[in-house]
Amino acid sequence: MKYIIIGLGNYGHMLAEELSVLGHEVIGADVSASRVDSIKEKIATAFVLDATDEQALAALPLSGVDVVIVAIGENFGASIRVVALLKQQKVAHIYARAIDNVHRSVLEAFDLERILTPEEDAARGLVHLLEFGSNMETFRVDTDYYVVKFAVPEKMIGYYANELNLDKEFGLKLLALKRAKTLKNCLGISFTEHDVMNELPENDQVQASDELVCYGRYKDFQKFWKAM
């Protein structure tokens, strides 16, 4: 896919670099020449321009990309103006970063495809790490319900899949189990990869390297984790 990222600060820079590593074509733009210089070798193209200027913004190939991401955060006025100009140019797919609730509320008025809240997401991830003491990946479905992937707790190792009873005991639905396997790359170096096991045989025992993917209310995850 092709992306334009406007704003190459810490967040925009990392976003552009990671998308490029994954094989996407990324065009970056920022008013700062030093920011552009720091990333121009890592992405397809980078421009030094003021995206709040209508003529400068029109120089970007807005109609030739899949998504335009406004990664400007600190300059509230610049962020809103760039989004307004993109809507004026009838750009179909716009993502924009919001740094607080006021910023988000204003962006919501533009009916964007997605509003990004990296600071909020990072804070929530840290809260989960501090609360559960384990690395987790979470997806919030709504205020109360989450999908969570986590390493299997030590107390569950050796149990059969039909003995977990997560639904009856904790109100959590087990969606999948990911099982680790060791592979070797073309250089003969070993690495670990997890495969999803959507169906669990009744005689299959939970292993130490497994990961569980569950769905349920946040308070039920808290109850489950305390029991572990």
**Rounded distance between C-alpha atoms, residue 205 and residue 156, angstroms:** 9
List pLDDT tens digits, range 15-54. Answer: 999 999 989 999 999 999 999 999 999 999 999 999 999 9
**What are the strands, taking DSSP E only, across 71-189?**
94-97, 114-116, 136-140, 145-151, 173-184
The residues, any chain, with a CB within 8 Å of residue 52's CB and separated by 6 or more, are 78, 81, 82, 85
pTM for the model stands at 0.66
- Res. 114: pLDDT tops 80: yes
| Amino acid code (one letter) for 105 | S
Please tell me which residue, 153 or 49, carries the higher pLDDT value: 49
- Res. 124: pLDDT tops 80: no
> Tokens in use for 100?
């607080």
Please tell me which residue, 137 or 9, carries the higher pLDDT value: 9
Would you say 130 and 172 are in contact if contact means Cβ atoms under 8 Å apart? no
What is the average per-residue pLDDT within 73-90? 94
Strands 145-151 and 136-140: antiparallel
Check residue 125 and give left, alpha or beta (phi > 0: left; psi -120 to 50: alpha): alpha
pLDDT at 71: 95
List pLDDT tens digits, range 87-104. Answer: 999 999 999 999 988 999
